Amino acid sequence: MRIQHSNMAATGWPECAKSLKGVILDLCGVLYDSGEGDGVAISGSAAAVKKLKESDLQLRFCTNETQATREKFVGKLQRLGFDISVSEVFPPAPAAIAVLKERGLRPHLLVHDGLLDEFDGVDKSNPNCVIIGDAAENFSYKNLNEAFTVLIGLEKPVLFSLGQGRYYKETDGLKLDVGVYMKALEYACDLKAEVIGKPSPTFFQSVLNDMGLQPHEVLMIGDDLVNDVGGAQRCGMKGVQVRTGKYRQIVSRDFSSC
Q: Does 90 bind a second copy (CB under 8 A)?
A: no
Tell me the C-alpha distance between 114 and 73, whole Å: 10
* Rounded alpha-carbon distances, angstroms, from residue 146 to 82, 132, 137, 159, 181: 39, 12, 15, 13, 13
Q: Does 144 bind a second copy (CB under 8 A)?
A: yes
Q: Give the DSSP letter of residue 250.
A: S
- Shortest Cβ distance from residue 141 to a second copy (Å)? 4
How many C-beta atoms surround the C-beta of residue 190 within 10 A? 8
User: From residue 168 to residue 187, what is the string marking binding to a second copy with x (rule CB under 8 A)?
Assistant: -----xxxx--xxx-xxxxx
Residue in 32, 61, 119, 139 binding a second copy, rule: CB under 8 A = 139
Residue in 8, 16, 152, 251 binding a second copy, rule: CB under 8 A = 152
Tell me the C-alpha distance between 28 and 41, whole Å: 9
Q: Does 149 bind a second copy (CB under 8 A)?
A: yes
Q: Does 188 bind a second copy (CB under 8 A)?
A: yes
The DSSP secondary structure of 156-199, one letter per residue, reads S--EEEE----EEEETTEEEE-HHHHHHHHHHHHT--PEEESTT
User: From residue 28 to residue 67, what is the string marking binding to a second copy with x (rule CB under 8 A)?
Assistant: ----------------------------------------
Residue in 167, 168, 203, 204 binding a second copy, rule: CB under 8 A = 167
Tell me the C-alpha distance between 88 and 132, whole Å: 24
Residue ranges that bind a second copy, judged by CB under 8 A: 135-142, 144-145, 148-149, 152, 166-167, 173-176, 179-181, 183-190, 252-253
